[in-house]
Amino acid sequence: MSKKVLLIGGLGFIGYHLSKELSSNDFAVSIAHRSKLPKAESDFDLLHLDLDAMALEVLVDRLKGFDFVVFCGGADDRTMPIGDATDFYYKENVVPCLRLVEASLETGIEKIVILGSYFSHFDRARPEWKLKEKHPYIKSRYLQQIKPVDLAQNKLQVSTVEIPYVFGAAPGKVPLWKPLVEYIDKMPFVFYTQGGTNIMSVEQVAKAVLGVLNTKEYKSHWIIGSENVSWTKLVQMFATALGKKRRVILLPDFMVRSLALLVKGYCKLFKKQTGLDPYHFVEVQTANTFLELENSRRALAYPKVDMQKSIKETVEACGFSVKK
């Protein structure tokens, strides 16, 4: 008999691929939307799940019959909230997960999987950066990971999947990378920072989450990813997809910090809140935030992929022609 899984935020970029992956592996998939149900076609059952205002007994009733819940409906660091950023991100990323745990304890749900950020990993790995103290968004990802586990009190499995930068395409979705693609497309040379990151495809994310649902091994957090790349290499991968060659000029860190101070001053002047403090984030942006992931890849059974292909799909989804 198929296991029933509820995807909260399942109409999004990752949710689209996750719903396809789970349904093709004999899961019965339903999708929940936190706000009013959009006028969107879906191959899956859609239901409204207001995790902020719905009474507990109503929420419990909606969750009955599901075996698993996957939460991929939080706010990311691009959001510039009105009001206090710390309160905003706590409400968007932490409170819904706590309500899910509270209600799930009253049902037969076996496991909740929360899609988070690899910044939580670096908050643990690089305590000297003091990420959760300096960045409201990262603080929310940290609390999103620990508070639901504490609330579950070993009566329910709650796992966070810590995800790096993701590439690929989904119907009707414009990738967050579009401004960078436009910049690389227009400029004969590209100014960028030192450092690097880990990248992965959206299909890999979906397979990794499938692995978390299937595995009998329990971890409160799983760090996933695919390929470690310098920012220079990533820019050149975009340029290759565009069929162009681009020289990358690395800005010295002091110049990046100066520019970040200007951005921070602009935000303060116009009372704009940010999830990542522009000045303090330079320390992260210019570092090599690389990952060693053989253990996770083996445990969750997600494959290596051709990341250049994923970059090409991203560029196409941004509306640009790609090199054939």
Domain boundaries along the sequence of the chain = 3-167+199-225+289-303
- Tokens 């990358």 found at: 248
For residues 156 and 66, is the Cβ–Cβ distance under 8 A? Answer: no
Integer CA distances (angstroms), 237 to 181, 297, 317, in order: 11, 23, 15
Predicted local distance difference test score (pLDDT) of residue 36 = 67
Q: What are phi and psi of 165, to 5 degrees?
A: -75, 135
pLDDT > 70: percent of the chain: 98
Amino acid identity for residue 1 in this structure: M
Residue where the block lists tokens 């689209």:
16
Could you give the C-alpha distances from 23 to 163, 255, 273, 283, 302, in angstroms and in order?
22, 49, 39, 41, 16
What does the pLDDT read at residue 271? 85
Residue 159 CB-density burial (10 A; 0-12 exposed, 13-18 middle, 19+ buried): buried
Residues 192-221 have pLDDT tens digits of 999 999 999 999 999 999 999 999 999 999
Residue 80 has a pLDDT of 85
What is the C-alpha to C-alpha distance for residues 169 and 71, in angstroms, rounded to an integer? Answer: 20
Pairwise CA distance, residues 62 & 108, whole Å: 12
- Tell me what pLDDT residue 322 has: 83
Between residues 5 and 269, which one has the greater pLDDT? Answer: 5
How is the beta sheet containing 165-167 ordered, strand by strand? Answer: 165-167, 196-201, 227-230
In DSSP notation, 168-223 reads: ---TT---TTHHHHHHHHH-SEEEE-S-EEEEEEHHHHHHHHHHHHH-S---SEEE
**DSSP for residue 35:** S
Report the pLDDT value the prediction gives residue 40, as an integer from 0 to 100: 63
Residue 312 is classified by DSSP as H
pLDDT digits (tens, 9 = 90+) for 134-174: 999 999 999 999 999 999 998 999 999 999 999 999 999 99
Superfamily of 3-167+199-225+289-303 according to CATH:
NAD(P)-binding Rossmann-like Domain (3.40.50.720)
User: Would you state the pLDDT for residue 65?
Assistant: 93
Contact 199, 226 (CB under 8 A): yes
Q: How many CA atoms lie within 13 A of 209 on its CB side?
A: 34
Q: Under a CB-based contact definition with an 8 Å cutoff, are residues 143 and 151 in contact?
A: no
For 243-298, the pLDDT digits (tens) are 999 999 999 999 999 999 999 998 888 888 999 999 999 999 999 999 998 888 99
Give the range among 71-75, 88-92, 202-206, 247-251 with minimum mean pLDDT: 71-75
Tokens of 162: 């810590």
Distance CA 25, CA 112 (A): 18
User: Percentage of the chain with pLDDT > 90?
Assistant: 82
pLDDT at 323 over 90: no
Does residue 3 have a pLDDT over 80? yes
Mean pLDDT of the chain: 93
pLDDT value, residue 73: 86
pLDDT above 90 for 321: no
